[in-house]
């Protein structure tokens, strides 16, 4: 199916919508005897240990979150130590905890169900302390494993149709998903999670790269099969989702030959359950030639002006500005398991919204391109009436849609959970999918999900920087749209974050 046949994206999105009926009728139960292995392991490849003696950057976290990725001046030389720094704070294992059935691993970025199905691969030119090659990042022992020798950046230059950031990047990182490691729990909805979980990881990676002065650009425009062949992925089970070009000033050579590797990996579980809908939407949103990539990149949808819906309440100009670096925040970040009903300040909310909507360096987000829109349920913000709001990105302020106590409703919208009811605010990322799909085809669905998730990942970081708690949640899709309508009519939900004061479970 061609990328231009956008019925596939609509069919997938509607088919994986949560509703009260779909949740009640779902007979899926977790089979712990086939719970997948949490890491991809190449048992026959020698590990290249990564140094752990990295120091924190000196850049305040809000400056790192606001950086557009196009860093002026000379970029630092990429070394093994600097790569280790980026990889650890983006996707490293920060700590682990034993439990009766095994060991739980807590990673630098949030992931749905703590089922970390996103793997990172590196395509590196010659660095002063790392030979050119294609590598897999192994977080379980914090090492690299060499998959291919030689400088294969030229293959990515071809696959991205000579994208300028790729042609000059000394290292390109690819992020890929092994579906079963997430679909074991979340079934066909996992394809949404592919981009949710990539987005929170990328929020870390982009902010840490900015903090240490490394230019970075997220890329969704590439020939899927060509990139997957480079990593020798079994595309029935694992696929490349996107690329991040790191650094500049190192022109890539012409493409080298790519042959199958046939490398052994440890089985994830004794058996796996297939969800064809995941493979179908991925195939339908794939690009098949450099010419199609060029055409896709030129078709970015222009932002649709949003008519003012009421009086504007500008964001506070007296916003807190935490000075600590992003690395320190990542080290203590978690997913809040309970909120008190305590209030947060309007100044804090203003900081969160400004950071969450800052520019993202990506080939699908050129200036003036269509962006996600933020809708908010305010439960407890000092100086702000409880109710539903729209964040007017262009005018940098909030518009009241309906005043009222919507705690109970917020809990229902967040799949009937207590967290969104107890949080101070619930931030929903919505997107008008039609113009996105018309311009970018089914691949626009990937872009819409990923952009919202990067914003959600930034929200995690800024909330913890402000001493608050945050948690990403799932939702009843159509109920959210109905609640924020008529303003949200015709849109779709991409992401949800609850933010508030951490606390003990509220007595009911």
**What domains does the chain contain, in order, with CATH numbers?**
34-255+270-298 (3.40.109.10), 312-500 (3.40.109.10)
- The DSSP result for 94-158, as a single string, is EEEEEETTEEEEEESS--GGG---EEEEEEE--BTTB-SEEEEEETTTTEEEEEEES--HHHHHH
Q: Confidence class of residue 507 from pLDDT cuts 50, 70 and 90?
A: low
Specify the pTM: 0.96
Query: What is the model's pLDDT at position 260?
Result: 95
Q: Are 492 and 481 in contact (CB under 8 A)?
A: yes
Question: What pLDDT is stored for residue 308 in this prediction?
Answer: 65
How many other CB atoms are there within 10 angstroms of residue 428's CB atom?
29
**pLDDT tens across 443-490, in order?**
999 999 999 999 999 999 999 999 999 999 999 999 999 999 999 999
Give the angle subtended at the CA of 442 by the CAs of 392 and 275, to the nearest 5°.
110
Strands (E), 152-203: 171-178
Q: Name the H helices within 358-471.
A: 407-413, 418-422, 433-440, 443-465
> Is the CB of residue 8 less than 8 Å from the CB of residue 281?
yes
The answer to whether residues 228 and 117 touch, using CB atoms and an 8 Å cutoff, is: no
Q: Are strands 425-431 and 143-149 parallel, antiparallel or unpaired?
A: unpaired
Q: Residue 461: its pLDDT value, please?
A: 96
pLDDT in tens, 379-427: 999 999 999 999 999 899 999 999 999 999 999 999 999 999 999 999 9
Q: How many CB atoms lie within 10 A of CB 197?
A: 28
């Amino acid at each position: 199916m061609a990328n231009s046949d956008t019925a596939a994206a609509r069919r997938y999105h509607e088919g994986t919508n949560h509703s009260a009926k779909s949740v009640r009728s779902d007979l899926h139960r977790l089979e712990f005897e086939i719970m997948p292995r949490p890491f991809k392991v190449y048992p026959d490849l020698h590990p290249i240990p990564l140094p752990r003696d990295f120091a924190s950057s000196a850049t305040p976290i809000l400056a790192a979150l606001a950086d557009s990725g196009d860093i002026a001046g000379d970029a630092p030389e990429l070394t093994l130590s600097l790569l280790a720094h980026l990889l650890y704070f983006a996707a490293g294992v920060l700590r682990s905890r034993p439990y009766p059935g095994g060991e739980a691993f807590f990673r630098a970025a949030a992931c749905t169900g703590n089922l970390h199905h996103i793997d990172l691969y590196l395509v590196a030119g010659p660095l002063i302390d790392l030979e050119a090659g294609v590598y897999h990042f192994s977080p379980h022992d914090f090492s690299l494993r060499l998959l291919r020798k030689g400088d294969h950046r030229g293959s990515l230059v071809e696959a991205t149709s000579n994208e300028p950031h790729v042609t000059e990047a000394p290292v390109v990182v690819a992020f890929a998903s092994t579906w079963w490691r997430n679909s074991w729990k979340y079934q066909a909805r996992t394809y949404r999670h592919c981009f949710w979980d990539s987005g929170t990881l990328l929020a870390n990676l982009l902010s840490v790269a900015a903090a240490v002065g490394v230019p970075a650009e997220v890329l969704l425009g590439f020939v899927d099969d060509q990139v997957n062949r480079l990593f020798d992925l079994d595309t029935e089970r694992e696929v490349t989702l996107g690329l991040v070009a790191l650094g500049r000033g190192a022109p890539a050579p012409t493409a080298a030959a790519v042959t199958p590797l046939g490398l052994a990996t440890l089985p994830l579980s004794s058996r796996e359950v297939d969800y064809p809908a995941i493979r179908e939407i991925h195939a339908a949103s794939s690009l098949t030639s450099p010419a199609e990539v060029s055409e896709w990149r030129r078709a970015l949808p222009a932002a649709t002006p949003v008519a003012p819906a009421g009086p504007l309440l500008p964001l506070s100009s007296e916003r807190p500005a935490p000075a600590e670096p992003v690395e320190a925040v990542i080290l203590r970040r978690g997913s809040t398991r309970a909120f008190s009903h305590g209030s947060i300040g309007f100044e804090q909310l203003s900081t969160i919204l400004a950071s969450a909507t800052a520019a993202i360096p990506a080939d699908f987000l050129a200036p003036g391109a269509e962006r996600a829109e933020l809708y908010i349920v305010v439960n407890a913000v000092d100086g702000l009436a409880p109710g539903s709001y729209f964040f007017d990105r262009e005018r940098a302020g909030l518009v009241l849609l309906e005043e009222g106590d919507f705690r109970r409703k917020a809990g229902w919208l967040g799949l009937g959970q207590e967290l969104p009811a107890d949080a101070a605010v619930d931030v929903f990322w919505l997107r008008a999918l039609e113009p996105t799909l018309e311009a970018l085809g089914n691949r626009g669905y990937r872009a819409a999900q990923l952009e919202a998730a990067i914003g959600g990942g930034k929200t995690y970081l800024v909330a913890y920087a402000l001493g608050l708690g945050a948690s990403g949640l799932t939702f009843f899709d159509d109920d959210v749209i109905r609640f924020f309508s008529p303003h949200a009519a015709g849109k779709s939900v991409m992401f949800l974050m609850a933010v508030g004061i951490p606390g003990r479970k509220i007595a009911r």
